[in-house]
């Protein structure tokens, strides 16, 4: 049985890194149930045959950027007469220097608790690592500037930011991270405004955690509508910044079978409007399992050989917990540090999308930074 990870997000003002968490069948937001990695090459992906509860990315980190809010059908075919645009050239691999956004819950805690005995460990093991910045609040009038603050700050520092747009309608299927844009017309406008803030430098975009893997709660028509919106979103983000690398949701190895996941991704335009896929956001599956799973999904997806994958390694140091345990499960540990130099073919980066220490809702309020939990993860 697979567990879903869910992205439990704390919505609020801007705070730098927002992290999402949990895994499908490890729940994205709701309480998913984590299961042992299946025999499937990748992580225990939730094989199509075995029913699982999807759990979005566990806790979608607290806040995103200074302004970034926390929590977060096919593309029209050009008229026959229209000249086909040249194939988008794949940008060179992003720099290994990922951006550490200066605003986040863990950094706030570190600055305010210098005399705390847990300070040194949390500072060295977690606060010093670059993590994703989530944009989980639907604020159409400010989203461009919120994104621009992050990307401009990264460009000035010569680093590569990781940003997470998280506002798809019916987000988290009504679970703990529910929210998002009121309808798809509004979402299209919001994502275009998001794209306008990407700038022109290297940037990694983790597009809507759980939006593809967690669609079993939707009927066929609703699923098609969502996939069409994601296809348009990928196209808009890449058109706005040719150096942006956009990754689509592929759940994790303990959720859907690779062939099923690839089928969903194909319907969402991932083969043409993305740079690849992301897995394990807010979840706990081991890196080796995720690497195998990601390659299987990419192989089944088809598309250009340049498509790659990024894996969330923020909390997967000890692998997935026992089945059914998804909310701040005990015995977990930090995974590999964030890097774009993985040494693995088709694996573009190991990232900390979910910020370690931000609770899924059991050891602390959902989405809040919880120092004792952070220490548990740091000590493994």
Is 376 tagged catalytic?
Answer: no
> Edge to edge, what strands does the sheet with 308-312 contain?
133-135, 162-165, 203-207, 244-249, 276-279, 308-312, 347-351
- Catalytic pick from 172, 202, 275, 376? 172
pLDDT tens, residue by residue, 296-325: 999 999 989 999 999 999 999 999 999 889
pLDDT digit string, tens, across residues 106-143: 999 999 999 999 999 999 999 999 999 999 999 999 99
Token output for 147: 């994104």
pLDDT of residue 36: 32
Give the residues across from 310 on adjacent strands: 278, 349
Which of 202, 210, 328, 348 is the catalytic position? 210
Residue 12 has pLDDT above 70, yes or no: no
* List 275, 289, 360, 376, catalytic entry: 360
Rounded to two decimals, what is the model's pTM?
0.82
Quick count: other Cβ atoms within 10 Å of Cβ 75?
Answer: 13
Instruction: Please report which confidence band the pLDDT of residue 95 belongs to, taking 50, 70 and 90 as the band edges.
Output: low
pLDDT of 312 reads 98
Is 360 annotated as catalytic?
yes
Determine whether 348 is an active site residue: no
Please name the residues in contact with 183: beta carbons below 8 A apart, sequence gap of 6 or more.
Answer: 169
């Amino acid at each position: 049985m697979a567990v879903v990870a869910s992205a439990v997000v704390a919505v609020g003002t801007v705070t730098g890194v927002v992290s999402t968490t949990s895994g499908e069948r490890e729940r994205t937001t709701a309480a998913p149930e984590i299961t042992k990695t299946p025999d499937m090459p990748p992580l225990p992906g939730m094989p199509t045959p075995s029913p699982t509860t999807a759990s979005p990315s566990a806790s979608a980190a607290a806040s995103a950027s200074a302004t970034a809010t926390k929590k977060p059908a096919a593309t029209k075919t050009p008229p026959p007469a229209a000249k086909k645009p040249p194939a988008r050239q794949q940008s060179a691999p992003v720099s290994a220097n990922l951006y550490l956004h200066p605003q986040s819950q863990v950094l706030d805690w570190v600055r305010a608790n210098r005399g705390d005995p847990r300070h040194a460990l949390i500072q060295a093991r977690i606060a010093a690592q670059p993590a994703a910045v989530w944009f989980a609040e639907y604020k159409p009038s400010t989203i461009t500037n919120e994104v621009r603050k992050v990307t401009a700050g990264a460009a000035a520092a010569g680093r590569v930011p990781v940003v997470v747009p998280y506002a798809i309608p019916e987000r988290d299927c009504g679970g703990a991270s529910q929210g998002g844009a009121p309808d798809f017309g509004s979402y299209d406008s919001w994502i275009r405004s998001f794209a306008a803030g990407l700038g022109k430098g290297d940037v990694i975009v983790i597009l809507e955690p759980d939006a593809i893997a967690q669609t079993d709660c939707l009927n066929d028509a609703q699923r098609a509508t969502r996939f069409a919106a994601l296809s348009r979103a990928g196209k808009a983000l890449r058109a706005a910044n040719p150096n942006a690398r956009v990754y689509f949701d592929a759940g994790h190895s303990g959720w859907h079978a690779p062939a099923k996941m690839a089928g969903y991704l194909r319907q969402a335009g991932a083969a043409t409007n993305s740079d690849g896929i992301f897995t394990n956001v807010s979840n706990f599956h081991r890196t080796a399992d995720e690497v195998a799973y990601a390659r299987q999904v990419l192989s089944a997806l088809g598309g250009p050989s340049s498509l790659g994958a990024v894996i969330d390694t923020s909390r997967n140091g000890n692998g997935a917990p026992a089945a059914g345990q998804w909310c701040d499960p005990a015995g977990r540990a930090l995974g590999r540090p964030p890097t774009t130099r993985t040494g693995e073919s088709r694996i573009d980066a190991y990232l900390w999308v979910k910020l370690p220490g931000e609770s899924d809702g059991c050891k602390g309020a959902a989405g809040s930074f919880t120092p004792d939990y952070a220490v548990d993860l740091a000590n493994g």
